Amino acid sequence: PALSAVIKALTNPGDRVLVQTPVYNCFFSSIRNNGCEMISNPLIYEDNTYRIDFDDLEKKAADPKVKLLLLCNPHNPAGRVWSKQELIRIGEICLRNDVWVVSDEIHCELVFPGYTYTPFASLSEKFRMHSVTCTSPSKAFNLAGLQIANIISADADIREKIDKAININEVCDVNPFGVEALIAAYNEGEEWLEELKSYLFANYQYLKNYFNEHLPDFPVLKLEGTYLVWVDCSVLKKPSEEIVTALLEKEKVWVNEGSMYGEDGDNFIRINIACPRQQLAKGLERLKHAFG
């Protein structure tokens, strides 16, 4: 709802919105529901990770109908935590072409050893004034059911437009329990969060080692942040939706098909590792039975 309200505030029906696919599937519906057209700047898959195609981004941002870029930082489902250098190049391209950056930073707390989360708006005053940032405690603190989020904009006029869009979309009244939970999470949750990150990173290492030993034909992409692991299933030569349906029906294990996140994701599945390790191990055994 936050992203949808920001899109409504910054665009008109018929405008175009850039996304970097494969990307969180609700980006597509938020763009479509506001009467805009989605334009993809596909990420480049190589060396077991993704990088940004800046030449393609420059070309597409130059389209006068493109009004904003939905940035996913850290990126779901690619697992990237974008570096300062990458974010600066994105910002410079968008500034040159008068494209607003709307940065979805909902996974910002979930970053693993060796990587540093950088808020896009923190990199320069121009970026701060030409962007909107969305955050929420719902991922890191498991509070999605309380439906609370933050929309951060330095521009008073843009804040007014967003406030109007929130009211038009009738999501202006937040859950009071969510407010209290947000305050508690941000003020008192640091120790718990550090333990969580250690546990999630160990889950990722467990999964990666399991695939290396038992399912070596299925590359597991490097996970820099989030709790969502992206696995290359191209060896099966089947649509990801077919793979997921078979896993659910035959093994009673449910993962996400890569095609949910754009056609660039169709050779992949997404695995949520935010669970007890015993449950993860059981799920991996079922994957092995299906794929082995």
Kindly report the CATH number assigned to the domain that includes residue 78. Answer: 3.40.640.10
Q: Which helix (H) or strand (E) holds 132?
A: strand 131-135
Could you list the residue range(s) of the whole structural domain that residue 281 is in?
190-291
Tell me the Ramachandran region of residue 33: left when phi exceeds 0, alpha when psi lies from -120 to 50, beta otherwise: alpha
Q: Are residues 156 and 16 in the same domain?
A: yes
Q: What is the CATH number of the domain that holds 208?
A: 3.90.1150.10
Q: Are residues 247 and 178 in the same domain?
A: no
Strand 150-152 and strand 131-135: the pairing is antiparallel
- Fill in the amino acid letter for 86: E
Q: Are residues 134 and 9 in the same domain?
A: yes
Q: What is the total count of domains within the chain?
A: 2
Q: Are residues 181 and 203 in the same domain?
A: no
Q: Are residues 125 and 199 in the same domain?
A: no
Q: Are residues 179 and 196 in the same domain?
A: no
Q: Of 168, 186, 204, which residue is a domain's last?
A: 186
pTM over 0.85: yes
Number of C-beta neighbours around residue 101 at 10 A = 23
Q: Are residues 165 and 205 in the same domain?
A: no
Q: Are residues 255 and 166 in the same domain?
A: no
| Segment 23-69, tens digit of pLDDT | 999 999 999 999 999 999 999 999 999 999 999 999 999 999 999 99
pLDDT at 172 (0 to 100): 87
Q: Are residues 146 and 225 in the same domain?
A: no
| Segment 178-234, tens digit of pLDDT | 999 999 999 999 999 999 999 999 999 999 999 999 999 999 999 999 999 999 999
Q: Are residues 12 and 155 in the same domain?
A: yes
Q: Of 162, 186, 210, which residue is a domain's last?
A: 186
Q: Are residues 127 and 262 in the same domain?
A: no
* pLDDT band at residue 87 under the 50/70/90 scheme: very high
Is pLDDT at 292 greater than 90 in this prediction? no
Q: Of 149, 165, 186, which residue is a domain's last?
A: 186
Long-range CB contacts (within 8 A, 24+) of 202-211: 202/277, 203/227, 203/273, 203/274, 203/275, 203/277, 203/280, 204/112, 204/229, 204/273, 206/277, 206/280, 206/281, 207/271, 207/273, 207/280, 207/284, 210/281, 210/284, 210/288, 211/284
- Fill in the amino acid letter for 74: P
Q: Are residues 98 and 241 in the same domain?
A: no
The arrangement of strands across the sheet holding 100-104 comes to 37-40, 16-19, 66-72, 100-104, 131-135, 150-152
For the chain, give the percent of residues with pLDDT over 70: 100
